[in-house]
């Protein structure tokens, strides 16, 4: 079996510097000291690393290729984002390179792949953005726009107003007579989940009804199912009368677990989610949710990206878009 080709991250680790420093040094950036440049050149040569000849394409913007970095395939929301990205990028006469965000070797190869294929810009929608990616893209003059996550330094972002949508769900539950709410959240490092958690919690506390139970749904259907089983097993006097799962996929798990336990959805317990996935409209779920404006998010993200492909001196910008509350049978009034 042949050895794996060394990446820019491999060289950075061996030289003891950041990946962005490797890129600048190999391009002859005078801001990097001669000693550091010499050391990096030596390490790169020893490892057999050859930098990609992307400078010409990146500076001229002629590749017509947009990188799209997506999160794990376990959440169908990313499939919705990908479909819309494919459609809109194609309509704008460009092509796309799809990169799956993941740990270990996958993480280390992401930045290299984006540079190897000479992308003109990059859309990133991933809970855990590898730190190398944004730094290397920026150092090589590749604009980056985050979609559905808070921007890091030197990047733009287009996000759904997660706090506003969570407040809408809280208001709906209170109007339907619900007072004891369980929050199915996630401990993952997700800015989206944190904003939904904080927005809902702050609103319910201000209304005098803070969440009575907080469970970790791990951003998965299985995690939501376990949370639902926990809720169903509680004594009736301690059981919440409503559940807010901060993603639809966790809400599906909660609904299935409660239904299997004989709980009447929308009567005994109301369940609401967030994302507005098509599956949530199916009769088996009939889930009240906030639909993310995916079409607008991708469109505005591409607008930001193309503007910065033309003018890399434009300042960073974050755009927040409101979702649409969709009221269904899972959140019926208490005691009906």
Mean pLDDT, range 6-32, rounded to an integer:
80
Chain segment 236-288, per-residue pLDDT in tens = 889 999 999 999 999 999 999 999 999 999 999 999 999 999 999 999 999 99
Domains of the chain: 8-51 (1.10.260.40), 65-159+293-321 (3.40.50.2300), 162-292+325-331 (3.40.50.2300)
- The structure tokens 């030596």 sit at 42
Does 149 score more than 90 pLDDT? no
Average pLDDT, the chain: 86
Does 55 score more than 70 pLDDT? no
Burial class for 175, CB neighbours closer than 10 Å (0-12, 13-18, 19+): exposed
Say what the pLDDT of residue 259 is: 98
Confidence category of residue 150, pLDDT binned at 50, 70, 90: confident
Say what the pLDDT of residue 5 is: 65
Chain segment 30-52, per-residue pLDDT in tens = 788 888 888 988 888 888 776 65
Say what the pLDDT of residue 152 is: 65
Does 87 score more than 70 pLDDT? yes
Does 64 score more than 80 pLDDT? yes
The tokens for 135 are: 């730094």
Say what the pLDDT of residue 100 is: 76
Mean pLDDT, range 106-120, rounded to an integer:
69
φ/ψ (deg, to 5) at 218: 55, 20
Chain segment 200-236, per-residue pLDDT in tens = 999 999 999 999 999 999 999 999 999 999 999 999 8
This prediction's pTM: 0.79
Say what the pLDDT of residue 73 is: 63
Give the number of other CB atoms < 10 A from CB of residue 105: 11
Most confident of 5-19, 96-110, 158-172: 158-172
């Amino acid at each position: 079996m042949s050895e794996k080709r060394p990446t820019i991250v491999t060289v950075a680790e061996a030289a003891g510097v950041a990946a962005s420093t490797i890129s600048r040094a190999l391009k002859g950036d005078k801001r990097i000291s001669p000693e550091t440049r010499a050391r990096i050149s030596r390490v790169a040569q020893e490892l057999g690393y050859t930098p990609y000849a992307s400078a010409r394409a990146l500076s001229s913007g002629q590749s017509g290729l947009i990188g799209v970095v997506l999160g794990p395939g376990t959440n169908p929301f990313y499939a919705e984002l990908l479909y819309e990205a494919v459609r809109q990028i194609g309509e704008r006469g460009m092509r796309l390179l799809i990169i799956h965000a993941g740990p270990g070797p996958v993480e280390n190869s992401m930045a290299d792949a984006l540079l190897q294929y000479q992308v003109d810009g990059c859309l990133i929608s991933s809970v855990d953005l590898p730190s190398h990616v944004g730094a290397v893209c920026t150092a090589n003059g590749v604009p980056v726009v985050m979609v559905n996550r808070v921007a890091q330094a030197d990047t733009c972002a287009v996000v759904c107003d997660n706090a506003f949508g969570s407040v809408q769900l809280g208001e709906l539950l209170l109007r339907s007579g619900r007072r004891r709410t369980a929050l199915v959240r996630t401990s993952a490092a997700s800015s989206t989940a944190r904003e939904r958690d904080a927005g809902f919690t702050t609103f319910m506390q201000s209304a005098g009804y803070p969440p009575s139970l907080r469970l970790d749904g791990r951003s998965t259907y299985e995690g939501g199912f376990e949370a639902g089983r926990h809720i169903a097993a509680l004594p009736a006097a301690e059981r919440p009368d409503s559940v807010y799962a901060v993603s639809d996929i966790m809400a599906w798990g909660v609904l299935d677990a409660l239904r299997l336990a004989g709980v009447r959805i929308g009567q005994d317990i109301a369940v609401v989610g967030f994302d507005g996935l098509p599956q949530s409209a199916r009769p088996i779920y009939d889930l009240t949710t906030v639909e993310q404006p995916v079409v607008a998010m991708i469109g505005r993200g591409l607008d930001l990206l193309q503007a910065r492909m033309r003018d890399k001196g434009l300042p960073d910008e974050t755009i927040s878009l409101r979702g649409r509350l969709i009221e269904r049978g899972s959140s019926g009034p208490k005691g009906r």
